[in-house]
């Protein structure tokens, strides 16, 4: 479980997309690979509330 107040302390940060010209040459993921610090910070925002769709961007 993350920090119960993490969603108030840390802003939501989307993972940026790779450059479109770079993506044309392969079938890899369209998002960049976030570093471990980014993943830990975003994971700390989780309140483990049971809402299944909270991770969607919309």
pLDDT surpasses 90 at 30: yes
Higher pLDDT, 11 or 49: 11
Residue 21 pLDDT class (50, 70, 90 cuts)? very high
What DSSP designation does 21 have? H
Task: Please tell me the distance from the alpha carbon of residue 45 to that of residue 12, in angstroms, as a whole number.
Answer: 8
The pTM for the full model equals 0.64
Percent of the chain exceeding pLDDT 90 equals 40
Task: Please tell me the distance from the alpha carbon of residue 50 to that of residue 22, in angstroms, as a whole number.
Answer: 37
Angle ∠(52,15,58) on CA atoms, nearest 5: 40
| pLDDT, tens digit, 9 for 90 and up, residues 35-46 | 999 989 888 888
Count of positions (residues) in the chain: 58
């Amino acid at each position: 479980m993350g920090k119960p107040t993490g969603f108030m302390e840390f802003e939501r940060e989307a993972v940026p997309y790779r450059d479109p010209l770079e993506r044309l040459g392969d079938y890899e993921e369209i998002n960049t690979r976030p570093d471990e610090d980014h993943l830990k910070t975003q994971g700390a925002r989780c309140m483990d509330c049971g809402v299944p769709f909270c991770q969607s961007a919309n």
